[in-house]
């Protein structure tokens, strides 16, 4: 029987929905699922994890040293917790991609990235070539460490009553890495990776000032904000908003791409989006091949009109 350990992603206050999506993947493996919650004063998060359906145990490591999710510090702790487990899973987010490969190295276990489907406890599907092909891989090892492509799984629901076990681990003596500073973007809008609606802007915005048109449209419909790499590289939007192969992989119900051409590296980040709306002045832009709804026109005319229309609907 598989024994699966999921590392919880959280911000110190609430559990990130990515954890419930990892759980759905774990449920498809079959077996017993535990969730590890590492943090400082995170009993509330452990309780939240315990409410997820189908979880047997929550392993709570509550330690002031874990106040920030420093991968170099958390990996040795997770490696200790992993004893006796057949699978160690985490989300394929910035957090998981930083942490899980270190755990695999410490356990001398194979690292599998971006599980998008489970065929058996040892056989998985994952994307390759920027999502242009899907490969089936079989892993023959006593422990498999893997990241889960959260855009490929629905969140497990919250009808569980798991036991929370508090575990004390010695704080690893990590000298090569220390936390210097945390700079958090103002988070008054939905998180890009879990938002149901996302508005993204591309190079066509032309400046950081003009990018405020994207923020305004997003705000009018309660959406998260994303950006193409060209917009990020040009300094119009911060790096953590980048959507695509080298950015975030997202699966919103609605994705509005504004002034984005639709390069393959961008599209790989939104291939699981339910409805794609493209706004582009070039009727031959590749984005229109993937879009469900296309608006051909100048974004500087269309965006203020759309924003005003949504705002007036919201005020009625
Ligand atoms: C290894 C690698 C990894 C990459 N990873 C990523 C990634 O993760 N994410 C990503 O996005 N890209 C990525 N890229 C870059 C990608 O190839 C494209 O260069 C990038 O996506 C282009 O961004 P864009 O669509 O904003 O810009 P452009 O390709 O310049 O497109 C701008 C679009 O805006 C339209 N437009 C211009 N003016 C207006 C207007 N006034 N109104 C309406 N429309 C207008 C144009 O018709 C055009 O279609 C990667 C590239 C490489 C090589």
pLDDT band at 157 (very low <50, low <70, confident <90, very high): very high
- Mean pLDDT over 105-133 rounds to 94
Give the pLDDT confidence score for residue 224 in this predicted structure: 95
Give the pLDDT confidence score for residue 313 in this predicted structure: 85
Which residue among 92, 128, 129, 203 is best mutated to probe the pocket of ligand 1, counting the most ligand atoms within 8 A of its Cβ? 203
| Percentage of residues in the chain having pLDDT higher than 70 | 99
Least confident of 24-28, 87-91, 141-145, 271-275: 271-275
Q: How far is the CA of 216 from the centre of ligand 1 (A)?
A: 21
pLDDT digits (tens, 9 = 90+) for 294-304: 999 999 999 99
Give the pLDDT confidence score for residue 46 in this predicted structure: 98
Q: How far is the CA of 98 from the centre of ligand 1 (A)?
A: 26
Both tokens assigned to 171: 């704080």
- 295 C-beta closer than 6 A to ligand 1: no
Which residue among 265, 288, 301 is best mutated to probe the pocket of ligand 1, counting the most ligand atoms within 8 A of its Cβ? 265
pLDDT above 70 for 132: yes
- 205 C-beta closer than 6 A to ligand 1: no
| Highest mean pLDDT (candidates 28-32, 126-130, 311-315) | 28-32
Which residue among 128, 132, 230, 236 is best mutated to probe the pocket of ligand 1, counting the most ligand atoms within 8 A of its Cβ? 230
pLDDT digits (tens, 9 = 90+) for 176-213: 888 898 877 666 788 898 899 999 999 999 999 999 99
**Helices and strands in the chain: count of H runs, count of E runs:** 9, 15
pLDDT above 80 for 287: yes
Q: How far is the CA of 300 from the centre of ligand 1 (A)?
A: 17
Whether 306 contacts 217, CB under 8 Å: yes
**247 CA: nearest ligand 1 atom:** 8
Give the pLDDT confidence score for residue 72 in this predicted structure: 95
Burial class (CB in 10 A: 0-12, 13-18, 19+), 186: exposed
Rg from Cα positions in the chain = 21
Q: How far is the CA of 286 from the centre of ligand 1 (A)?
A: 10
Give the pLDDT confidence score for residue 185 in this predicted structure: 66
If you average pLDDT over every residue of the chain, what do you get? 94
pLDDT above 70 for 25: yes
Round to whole Å and give the CA distance between 79 and 83: 7
Q: How far is the CA of 158 from the centre of ligand 1 (A)?
A: 39
β-sheet bridge partners, residue 88: 5, 145
**Cα–chain-centroid distance for residue 86?**
23
- Mean pLDDT over 241-255 rounds to 94
> 164: which residues sit within 8 A by CB, 6+ positions away?
43, 46, 47, 50, 57, 58, 60
Round to whole Å and give the CA distance between 179 and 43: 23
pLDDT above 90 for 80: yes
Nearest CA to ligand 1 atom 30: 203
């Amino acid at each position: 029987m598989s024994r699966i350990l999921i590392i919880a992603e959280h911000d110190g206050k609430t559990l990130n929905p990515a954890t419930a999506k990892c759980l759905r993947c774990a449920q498809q493996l079959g077996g017993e699922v535990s969730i590890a919650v590492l943090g400082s004063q995170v009993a509330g998060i452990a309780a939240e994890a315990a409410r997820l359906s189908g979880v047997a145990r929550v392993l709570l490591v509550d330690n002031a040293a874990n106040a920030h999710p420093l991968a170099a510090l958390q990996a040795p702790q997770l490696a200790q917790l992993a004893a006796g487990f057949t699978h160690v899973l985490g989300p394929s987010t910035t957090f998981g991609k930083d942490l899980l490969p270190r755990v695999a190295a410490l356990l001398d276990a194979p690292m599998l990235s971006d599980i998008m489907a489970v065929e058996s406890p040892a056989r998985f599907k994952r994307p390759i070539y920027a999502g242009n092909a899907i490969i089936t891989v079989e892993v023959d090892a006593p422990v498999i460490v893997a990241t889960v492509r959260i855009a490929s799984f629905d969140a497990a629901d919250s009808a569980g009553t798991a036991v929370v076990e508090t575990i004390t681990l010695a704080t690893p003596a990590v000298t090569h890495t220390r936390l210097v500073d945390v700079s958090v973007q103002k988070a008054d809008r939905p998180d890009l990776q879990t938002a149901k609606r996302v508005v993204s802007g591309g190079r066509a915005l032309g400046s950081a000032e003009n990018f405020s048109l994207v923020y305004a449209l997003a705000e009018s419909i309660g959406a998260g904000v994303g950006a193409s790499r060209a917009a990020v590289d040009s300094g119009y939007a911060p790096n953590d908003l980048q959507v695509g192969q080298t950015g975030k992989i997202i699966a919103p119900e609605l994705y509005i791409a504004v002034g984005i051409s639709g390069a393959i590296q961008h599209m790989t980040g939104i291939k699981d989006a339910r409805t794609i709306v493209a706004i582009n002045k070039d009727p031959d832009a590749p984005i229109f091949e993937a879009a469900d709804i296309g608006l051909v026109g100048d974004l500087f005319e269309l965006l203020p009109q759309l924003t005003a229309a949504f705002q007036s609907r919201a005020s009625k």
